[in-house]
Amino acid sequence: MAALRLTMGGGNWFSALALGVTLLKCLLIPTYHSTDFEVHRNWLAITHSLPVSQWYYEATSEWTLDYPPFFAWFEYALSHVAKYFDQEMLNVRNLNYSSTRTLLFQRFSVILTDALFVYAVHECCKCIDGKKAGKELTEKPKFILSVLLLWNFGLLIVDHIHFQYNGFLFGLMLLSIARLFQKRHMEGAFLFAVLLHFKHIYLYVAPAYGTYLLRSYCFTANKPDGSVRWNSFSFVRLLSLGLIVFLVSALSLGPFLAMNQLPQVLSRLFPFKRGLCHAYWAPNFWALYNTLDKVLSVLGLELKLLDSNKIPKASMTSGLVQQFQHTVLPSVTPLATLICTLIAILPSVFCLWFKPQGPRGFLRCLILCALSSFLFGWHVHEKAILLAVLPMSLLSVGKAGDASIFLILTTTGHYSLFPLLFTAPELPIKILLMLLFTIYSISSLKTLFRREKPLFNWLEMFYLLGLGPLEVFCEFVFPFTSWKLKYPFIPLLLTSVYCAAGITYAWFKLYVSVLTDPPSGKTKKQ
């Protein structure tokens, strides 16, 4: 009884929140799962039944192993539990195998590995200063932050409906951020290095890590005006950081280097043969670019400035095929996107170097890196928005301005995930969960910052409210119109363009706030 009272007592709201969302995840088990389910089953089979040397060569299934080695080892470890559930799912040739036990095993593996995420959220909550804490529990920043992270809509639908293992990966990331906040830099660096070898998409935010560790850890002191004091450089610290990164990489890539397979591994990890945009256009700059191109080509045809014979036929099905040929604007190459991304990242990195503002500054730079690569990257998945949304939650409970950016970014980013779930039974779930999260985030942050100026101006409010009619049109009106057969891509196009506007706006606003923020020195007040 006493034990029960301890765990379930009124004070222990964190475990109630975590348990609650875990139960919700369990309820989502019978929902639709995407091909990613088969991808991970296939990886289980590959790592279980083949020797390490074959892992990155195996190509029976079209879903070849294209995550870094640590993730492969993770699947290998899982497969040793999986064999007690259903031996058949571990057969490489058993394509598209999904028995009830396989489903249960895979779903529960995601739910259980999320424990790391829960722990990371718990650690993150410790880093939030509670001085603004209200009397009521639901108005405490810690409480709000843990709901925003634990009940994050994007993570729920991507991991537990669509099927992926982002939960524990983001757990690693948040944990490493929390460690940096707690001044445990070495641990933070180690965790991030490990994370990179689990999923290389986190390379996007590596510049922030590199700069921050170099500037604020390797240089032990600042001049009074906040600029770098060059003679305070600690070579030992740099060396130990380098050693950590080197050891982790050696552990991960070493075996493949020894087998002379590194080029093969890298070619799997970075498939530049894919198109500029993913199957659904992620709501980024290129979605706007493509749309502009389309509009221009239509206008050009109308005004007889373009010759219709020269226009590629496939361009009208854009959004459904991966390759997109531009008709008016110049086509975009991977190199161009890389340069755009770097240019977009640079100011934030400079800012981190010249105006160090402690861990919060690092966090802002990290979010800007994630957002910039999302906006300008090559073949970006719409799921990558979570890379910005989750760390942004940490910022949102600190300052009203950040909260406003967070709400725009999160709401549009989450809405842009809607096309991931296109089956009818999941329609109510995604709408309900989205409403749940959005109403909560807006109303709780509004309450938290009720003494400051309103979070949105009228334009932002209008934009966010516009998502409602957009959803109604895309899911409830459009399927019954005659355009459905002729222009099936219109809902996707509208969604990504509409969301791209919001995300670009949030990115811009965050950049402005970072660049115009008063320089350091004031941070010492914290």
Partner 1 sequence: MEKWHLMTIVVLIGLTVRWTVSLNSYSGAGKPPMFGDYEAQRHWQEITFNLPVKQWYFNSSDNNLQYWGLDYPPLTAYHSLLCAYVAEFINPDWIALHTSHGYESQAHKLFMRTTVLIADLLIYIPAVVLYSCCLKEISTKKKIANVLCILLYPGLILIDYGHFQYNSVSLGFALWGVLGVSCDWDLLGSLAFCLAINYKQMELYHSLPFFCFLLGKCFKKGLKGKGFVLLIKLACTVVASFILCWLPFCTETEQTLQVLRRLFPVDRGLFEDKVANIWCSFSIFLKIKDIWPHHFQIIISFCFTFLSLLPACIKLTLQPSSKGFRFTLVSCALSFFLFSFQVHEKSILLVSLPVCLVLSEIPFMSTWFLLVSTFSMLPLLLKDGLLMPLVVTTMAFFIACATSFSIFEKTSEEELQLKSFSLSVRKYLPYFTFLSRIIQYLFLVSVITMVLLTLMTVTLDPPQKLPDLFSVLVCFVSCLHFLFFLVYFNIIIMWDSKGGRNQKKIN
Kindly list the residues in this chain that would bind partner 1 in the complex (CB under 8 A).
1, 4-5, 8-10, 12-13, 16, 19-20, 23-24, 26-31, 138-139, 424-425, 428-429, 432-433, 435-436, 439-440, 443-444, 447
Q: Which residues contact 243 (CB under 8 A, 6 or more apart)?
A: none
In the complex with partner 1, which residue's Cβ is closer, 24 or 494? 24
In the complex with partner 1, which residue's Cβ is closer, 27 or 305? 27
Smallest separation (angstroms) from partner 1 to the CB of 168 = 21
In the complex with partner 1, which residue's Cβ is closer, 243 or 465? 465
- DSSP-assigned letter for residue 321: B
Smallest separation (angstroms) from partner 1 to the CB of 14 = 11
Here the tokens at position 312 are 């590629």
Smallest separation (angstroms) from partner 1 to the CB of 208 = 33
Smallest separation (angstroms) from partner 1 to the CB of 443 = 4
Smallest separation (angstroms) from partner 1 to the CB of 9 = 6
Residue 448: how many CA atoms within 13 Å on its side-chain side? 29
In the complex with partner 1, which residue's Cβ is closer, 333 or 443? 443
Instruction: Calculate helix-pair angle for 166-181, 386-396, nearest 10 degrees.
Output: 40
In the complex with partner 1, which residue's Cβ is closer, 19 or 50? 19
Give 36: exposed, middle or buried? Use CB within 10 Å, 0-12, 13-18, 19+: middle
Rounded CA-CA distance 368/371 in Å is: 5
Smallest separation (angstroms) from partner 1 to the CB of 160 = 10
Smallest separation (angstroms) from partner 1 to the CB of 418 = 16
In the complex with partner 1, which residue's Cβ is closer, 144 or 349? 144
In the complex with partner 1, which residue's Cβ is closer, 29 or 52? 29
Helix (H, G, I), strand (E, B) or coil at 318: strand
In the complex with partner 1, which residue's Cβ is closer, 317 or 447? 447
**Residue 418 identity:** F
In the complex with partner 1, which residue's Cβ is closer, 7 or 323? 7
Smallest separation (angstroms) from partner 1 to the CB of 133 = 14
């249960």: which residue's tokens? Answer: 104
Residue 386: how many CA atoms within 13 Å on its side-chain side? 28
- Three-state SS string over 234-289 comes to CHHHHHHHHHHHHHHHHHHHHHHHHCCCHHHHHHHHCCCCCCCECCCCCCCHHHHH
**Could you tell me which of 187, 203, 194 has the C-alpha nearest to residue 169?**
194
Torsion of CA 133, 364, 526, 452, to 10 degrees: -50
Q: How far apart are the first and last CA of the chain?
A: 42
Q: Which residues contact 76 (CB under 8 A, 6 or more apart)?
A: 47, 48
Smallest separation (angstroms) from partner 1 to the CB of 4 = 6
Rounded CA-CA distance 155/149 in Å is: 9
